[in-house]
Structure 1
Amino acid sequence: MDVARDNYYVILYDHDGRKQLSISEYPSSEFETAMRQCAEAESKHWGTRIEAVLLGAASEDALRLTHPNYFREGYPPIDDYLQPLRDYYFVAD
């Protein structure tokens, strides 16, 4: 039985701009290259709100289903949803 191998994707996402900056696809045979590219991007953007993430998926369409937040421009950051909860549960004295 043939088992499909995942591809790997390196995504750069700007949390302040709320948009994907880039996506690079690597075949499963190039996992080490994908990991190195992600680490280099993470180092380059350390201390910023630009996230470098390495994900595996059968296809980009599958990735869009499992990680839609990296593909929707203008999507409100999670902090927008959490702030009302923080305000409610962590009231300053």
Structure 2
Amino acid sequence: MVIFNLKHAPGSEEAEKFLADGKAILTSIPTVTNFGVFSQVSAKNDYDYGFSMDFASQADYDFYNEHPSHVGFVKERWELEVESFLEIDFQIKE
């Protein structure tokens, strides 16, 4: 899960394109499941958006993290358009 703010105004055409492109690109990676795009509704933090996804194993996460589509999205979009973010990686406690 990652929560973030864009350099674009919330709700703007540019912001909506970033969110749609992120979903399309990241869900094309075979190990990504349960992908979600979120808009913040709480006044308890300063982040506007979120992406979440699940992985069946650490190997699946590693595959995603190193996949050319993920690496390209980070370099070509994320680093240029994201103003601030917080990444949260959870593992289910058994």
From the CA coordinates, give the structure whose radius of gyration is larger: 1
TM-score category by the smaller chain?
0.3 to 0.5
Greater relative CO, 1 or 2 (CA 8 Å, sep 6+) = 2
TM-score, length basis structure 2: 0.34
